[in-house]
Amino acid sequence: MSERKVLNKYYPPDFDPSKIPKLKLPKDRQYVVRLMAPFNMRCKTCGEYIYKGKKFNARKETVQNEVYLGLPIFRFYIKCTRCLAEITFKTDPENTDYTMEHGATRNFQAEKLLEEEEKRVQKEREDEELNNPMKVLENRTKDSKLEMEVLENLQELKDLNQRQAHVDFEAMLRQHRLSEEERQKQEQEEDERETAALVEQARKRRLLEDSDSEEDAAAPAPPPPTLRPKPTAILDEAPKVKRKAESWERSVGTLGSRPQLSGLVVVKKTDLNCSTPQDQPAPTLGTVKNGKAADPAPRTPGTSSLSQLGAYSDSEDSSSSN
């Protein structure tokens, strides 16, 4: 059994490599390669934008009768991602770039234009210096002056960096943090003082209210009203009670009146010499004892029954008013 991985192969003694038939391939043969779009482009058919770096499965072929310094030029065929239209571009070894052939237009690239402008200016300067030695001196003077300016700017940047290097950012942050903490502490103390002042004011107000209430409670009560000296004054001030008139009063009229009733009231006088109860006068109409009206006046000789009836009715009025 032969080995699977071998470095040497067996050639028989009668091997003649000239007898091996050669495969004839066309010179414009195309190969399928995987590539990325070398620049931004826009399809002419549908207007789709194809950005640089988009991957395609392209067909590659060698351009016939086009060579740059012995280097072959290759052409690539890709398809639009939207309308599948064919787009072709080829290599440009002279400018180390690619050139668009057909199917799309290359978008504007400022970087490429800047590079081309720099190359043009450099070429013009070299052409001038070849035939004009004074121009060479002027260009050297300008270059030296520009170099001095660049060195000065560089020195300024170095000085600025050294000044910033001496700055302690950690100390600055620490100081800022301490100042913030101190400010918060001061604000907290102010809030506490304001709260304490408000509590003190509320306590003083409450003490004042308590002292006012105690003074009101300790104040003496107003003296009771004095009794009237005249016992008949209450009869004069008593409200008149409306009562239903009797039938005989409608025909005859009221027999009693307040002046007659006040005339019948007699103030009781106490006699120290009298010791027997028989000498005491009989209670008259209008005298009050224990809050009750006394008996009507006794019948005296010479008075009529109608007058007695009027006196009796007046006594009832006085008792009801009391």
d(CA 195, CA 201): 10
Contact between 100 and 106 (Cβ < 8 Å):
yes
Write the DSSP string, 201-262. Answer: HHHHHHHHHHHHHHHHHHSPPPPPPPPPS-TTHHHHHSPPPP-PPPHHHHHH-----HHHHH
- DSSP label of 24: -
d(CA 159, CA 260): 132
Count Cβ atoms below 10 Å from residue 318 Cβ, excluding itself: 23
Token pair, residue 182, equals 């101190």
43 assigned binding-site residue: yes
Strands 49-50 and 55-68: unpaired
Burial class (CB in 10 A: 0-12, 13-18, 19+), 78: buried
Q: Which amino acid is present at 264?
A: L
**Phi/psi of residue 58, each to 5°?**
-100, 160
d(CA 53, CA 44): 19
d(CA 110, CA 112): 5
Write the DSSP string, 86-119. Answer: EEEEEEETTTTEEEEEESEEEPP-HHHHHHHHHH
274 assigned binding-site residue: no
Contact between 245 and 275 (Cβ < 8 Å):
no
Strands 49-50 and 41-43: antiparallel
Contacts of 27 (CB under 8 A, 6+ apart): 62, 64
Residues in binding site = 43, 46, 80, 83
Residues in binding site for Zn(2+) = 43, 46, 80, 83
